Structure 1
Amino acid sequence: MKTYKSLMGRPKKFAERTVVAFPERSFERIAAAAEPFEDRTDFIRGAVEKELGLRQSDFYDDLKRYLLANENAVDFCLDAIRDAVTRRKAAILESAIKQKGRDE
């Protein structure tokens, strides 16, 4: 008779659990913002990891103190991205106008 070595299951990937209540419509907003085929739980885990990375960074205290004033980090980042997109669109438009002038 052959003996078989007992196989253990795979190690747990997520050992800690919690129950979290979300404001109304949060899941709709997550579904709209998530990548295609991205699981809501993975989205939430990723958001938590990103926030932890930001808060544990060397510059977070300076960011809060000097840059944020009375706004939160999300609003600050969104404003910075909005400004960058506006500048980029203007630069692309300007470049297209210059190119059109050269072509004529």
Structure 2
Amino acid sequence: MSVRQENRYRKLVIAQGRALPDIKRELEAAFMERLPRPAVAPPKPSATRGQVRSWMRRNAADYDDATHLAEAANIALDLPAGAMDDETHWVWDEALSALDWADA
């Protein structure tokens, strides 16, 4: 028997040995009981304006300008989507107000 024939025979034996477990696994999967999926948790609501104002006033003394204060608030709290990109968003007003409040 040549090496080529031995390799072909070896592949055949391995394929036949794997065929039965593969069929059994497919049958088990086909008849497996499917349980209902758990409900998806809703996303965490973003921080309210009052929560942001309170956090900023407590921490305003640690920051030099409104940009750093707003970025820190964005890390600490879950700010509304797009708040950091919109310069007219109330988050920036609250940052300036908190800095003025800390200076007073």
How high is the TM-score relative to the length of structure 2? Answer: 0.21
* Larger relative contact order (CA 8 Å, sep ≥ 6): 2
How high is the TM-score relative to the length of structure 1? Answer: 0.21
